[in-house]
Structure 1
Amino acid sequence: MDERKKFDTAVPVWQEWQEAPWGRLRYAVAEADLGRHIEDRRPLRVLDLGGGDGGDAVRLAARGHRVTVVDYAPGMLATAARRADEAGVGDRVTCVEADVAALPGDLADGGFDLVLCHGVLPYTPDTEETLGVALGALRAGGLVSVIAMNRHSEPLRAAVRTMDPEAVLAALDADGVHSEMFASELRLHTAEEVGGVLRALGCGEVHHYGIRVFCDYIPDDAPKYDPDYYARLERLEIETAGRDPYRHTARLLHLIGRKGA
């Protein structure tokens, strides 16, 4: 199946995932992390690489920022445009069908205040090349936000979910995991690796957060759907996102870097 069709076909399942507690936490914690570094007093020019159906873009547009979503799956982009219109922010969200590795010249010109690279690295073979594209589109002093799957979390997740020591041993050296949702092999990363690349590319300041520090290690998923329980869990996740040692074993790593002059 063509890669674009693979993602477009999975839109309903992906949106169901976003509405699940772990999906909601992914967006809520990321938004809270970004809120520590950006101010809403002036609209930012934001580029959302691989932004899919607009999960991050609509949230930022609702805060008054202008967001350009780039994705190569037309069905995902159509969903993003529809979500933006339904949220009343369609005039602040622009959708561009393009491959992240081959951005149109007007997007790669280095004029953005904030570039999101959320969930892109697991699908790309070259971390440095992908992050180079992100930083190339960023103005000096602008912010880059990177979310990827945390390699350190995989053995812990295997222990909790399978209770199988052999599965945990296998996960210790795993470089990737299989995604049933998108029928893809996803690469795993560490904050140390990604942070090192960001610094080598010119980020003098890199902040490390974890997303879903505890959620994925609570084996009973049923209580997470209770509104009161979820609210308490979200508060816990936001509070611990930047704390040691918890951020190092979160299911997702979240790095926010500032590009040097």
Structure 2
Amino acid sequence: MVTDRTNPRSSVRTAVVWDVVRSALETIKREAADTRSGPSVAGTVPLDIVDVGGGTGGFAVALARLGHRVTVIDPSPDALAALERRAAEAGVSDAVRAAQGDLATVFDVLEPECADAVLCHGVLEFVDDPAEGCRTARGLLRPGGIASVLAANRTAVVLARALGGHVAEALAALHDPSGRFGVHDPVPRRFGEQALRDLVTQAGLSVRAVHGVRIFADLVPAAAADAPAGSGPAANVTDLLALEAAASALPEFRAMATQLHVLAGLDEA
């Protein structure tokens, strides 16, 4: 198996989200090809994508390589510099724009309804107001667009702390409204599935799918989870990718996933 380290599909930690997002973008692209005129890239209709908190471009560069235009909004100048280097190495600098900011300042950089898709991965845990963050993501979307929301799962941290022998912290996380295990917890808040669904729907988006992410990847030995498909014990990594994909949509398994992924859409008027 040939491994592409720049493709999120090659990592068990990102493969499920990548597959869901790419499939949704293909659907939008087919619909856009029927209705939109203008230049195309590699025979496809380029979509406009905003990746809020996209950091060094793990998703953005891969999406640009598919022919899309991606704007990455991130507060870290170091991360954005790394993004620009990664985009240059991949030959997609013209399709990737880096802008310093966050959900609270995104409209200082972008116009409303500028995007066919918004990625909001690992952001809602840290913003001051997650509900306002979801409304901002909705405001970036054109009708018919999609939002990909990835956030920490509050029930998973209870299991993780207990398995690590930190039973008191597991109990604290179980009872804490924000799913925090203590004052030294680096994550300000985590979400249950229903809470995350509610945030998305109350922002005016329609939930299309929910998946568990990193169900098993954080339970197996680190070497197996971190190795890309096709390297190291290839069969083990390949099987782990398949296991994550197969279990991701099953409620009984996604309840213990480290992260929850919601794919939502802004319905046409």
Compute the TM-score of the two structures, normalised by the length of structure 1: 0.82
SS state at 1:257 partner: strand
SS state at 1:120 partner: coil
SS state at 1:48 partner: strand
Contact 2:169 2:181 in 1 (8 A): no
- Quick one: distance in 1 between partners of 2:174 and 2:241? 28
Does residue 64 (structure 1) correspond to residue 71 (structure 2)? The answer is no
**Structure with max Cα Rg:** 2
Does residue 35 (structure 1) correspond to residue 38 (structure 2)? The answer is no
SS state at 1:101 partner: coil
1:205 aligns with 207
Residue 55 of structure 2: which of 40, 52, 55 is its match?
52
Query: CA-to-partner distance for each residue in 1:201-242, whole Å, 9 max, x for gaps?
Result: 211333111111112233x33444434122221121122221
Closer/same/farther in 2, CA of residues 88 and 200 from structure 1, 3 Å limit: same
1:103 aligns with 106
Higher strand share: 1
Residue 252 of structure 1: which of 243, 248, 259 is its match?
259
Identity rate, percent: 34
Please list every run of 5 or more consecutive structure 1 residues that lacks an aligned counterpart in the other structure: 1-17
Closer/same/farther in 2, CA of residues 131 and 178 from structure 1, 3 Å limit: farther
Contact 1:45 1:66 in 2 (8 A): yes
SS state at 1:100 partner: coil
SS state at 1:209 partner: strand
Does residue 168 (structure 1) correspond to residue 155 (structure 2)? The answer is no
> What amino acid is aligned across from residue 196 of structure 1 in structure 2?
D
- Quick one: distance in 2 between partners of 1:60 and 1:204? 23
> What amino acid is aligned across from residue 36 of structure 1 in structure 2?
S
- Quick one: distance in 1 between partners of 2:217 and 2:183? 19
Query: CA-to-partner distance for each residue in 1:61-103, whole Å, 9 max, x for gaps?
Result: 1111110001121111010111111112111111111232012
Contact 2:99 2:109 in 1 (8 A): no
Give the CA deviation at 1:257.
Answer: 0.3
SS state at 1:217 partner: coil
> What amino acid is aligned across from residue 45 of structure 1 in structure 2?
D
> What amino acid is aligned across from residue 57 of structure 1 in structure 2?
A
Contact 1:111 1:139 in 2 (8 A): yes
Give the CA deviation at 1:55.
Answer: 1.1
Please list every run of 5 or more consecutive structure 2 residues that lacks an aligned counterpart in the other structure: 30-43
2:189 aligns with 187
Closer/same/farther in 2, CA of residues 139 and 57 from structure 1, 3 Å limit: same
1:26 aligns with 13
1:13 aligns with none
1:11 aligns with none
- Quick one: distance in 1 between partners of 2:122 and 2:181? 14
Does residue 73 (structure 1) correspond to residue 60 (structure 2)? The answer is no
> What amino acid is aligned across from residue 129 of structure 1 in structure 2?
E
> What amino acid is aligned across from residue 257 of structure 1 in structure 2?
A
Give the total of aligned pairs. 238
> What amino acid is aligned across from residue 248 of structure 1 in structure 2?
A
Query: CA-to-partner distance for each residue in 1:148-184, whole Å, 9 max, x for gaps?
Result: 100011111122222x43333223124236899xx94
Compute the TM-score of the two structures, normalised by the length of structure 2: 0.80
Query: Which one is further off, 123-132 or 26-35?
Result: 26-35
- Quick one: distance in 2 between partners of 1:71 and 1:230? 31
Does residue 86 (structure 1) correspond to residue 100 (structure 2)? The answer is no
Higher helix share: 1
SS state at 1:37 partner: helix
